[in-house]
Amino acid sequence: MQFNTLGNSNLKVSQICLGTMTYGEQNSQQEAFEQLDYAVSQGINFIDTAELYAIPPKAETYGATETIVGNWLKQHGRREDLVIASKIAGPGADWVGHIRQGKSRFDDKNISEALDNSLQRLQTEYLDLYQLHWPERQTNYFGKLGYQHDAAEEAMTPVVETLQALEKQIKSGKIRYIGLSNETPWGLMQFLSVAQSMNLPVIASIQNPYSLLNRTYEIGCAEISYRENVPLLAYSPLGFGVLTGKYLQNNAPDTARMSLWPHYARYSNPQAVKATQAYVDLAKQHQLDPAQMALAYVNSRPFTAATIIGATTMQQLKTNIASETLMLSNEVVTAIEEIHKTIPNPAP
């Protein structure tokens, strides 16, 4: 397993990070434990979760994933060998109304409360990486394009105040490093510039979507990753599983996420289906597993510190982890770029 340094931190993270958002919904605790045991046995030391999980978010399963991971950590031991990341939820509409009455903010009060609760559920005294799950302000994330300012937008917590609140938790020993998630180039640069000017903690990483169906990260954030040493933690590298090809020809496996929750259609528009078919055909032409080809491409990007995989079955997990050893030929990469030029970013 390859390990990469996470930005300006001293954290060494495995190229493959284990995502856990299915634990407590699609996966039982027993199944989660089996996944975690196997992942660690394969050299993975990086585990990502969030107070929001399990997915889809609802009051009944809020915090369930952290609780399951915490139970495993207690049983597993050797906490110091692992890099554990979690996230604080931002404000939102009805879908997060159960989290601090839907009025979570990135201020001292909310960060302190959310962090303490996450630590309790995870049964650990500290997090290696604590991330802001999505921006507090109204902007583009979760597939939204075309920024439009809302004159009625509530005032956001000043970035300096957020960084000061996080610095307080770092000094207390509860957080080692901080990160962003679902953030824009403007937001990322704001956090970096304020940290530099005010001598506050610097962002170590950014967790955004990135896959063969969504390479919008390359447009604005990739240069920042390079010039400011803030690498990407790529989530949804298979586009909700779409890039495996299992949904092609109108297939809908009974237990698959988009069969259970059809509103997760971000990667299933006609252009995305067309692109997926092209990528799957390319993989088969070169005797490659479509999922492994898609993951290997993400793994190979110079701005990616870790690729966050998720799975509901052990076979999926084994296939996804094995992508770490796959090196794509120049011929395959060239063909991928040709498909991208023809159908660029069909599912941002």
Degrees, nearest 5: CA angle 142-148-153 = 90
Q: What is the token pair recorded at 289?
A: 């597993």
Give the relative orientation of helices 290-299 and 314-322 as an angle to the nearest 10 degrees: 50
Active site positions, annotated: 53
Exposure string (b/e) for 131-149, b if CB count within 10 Å is 16 or more? bbbbbbbbbbbeeeeeeee
For residue 218, count CB atoms less than 10 angstroms from its CB and return exposed for 0-12, middle for 13-18, buried for 19 or more.
middle
Is residue 240 within 8 Å of residue 266, measured between CB atoms? yes
C-alpha distances (whole Å) from 200 to each of 87, 170, 195, 292, 293 are: 19, 11, 4, 39, 40
One-letter identity of residue 293:
M
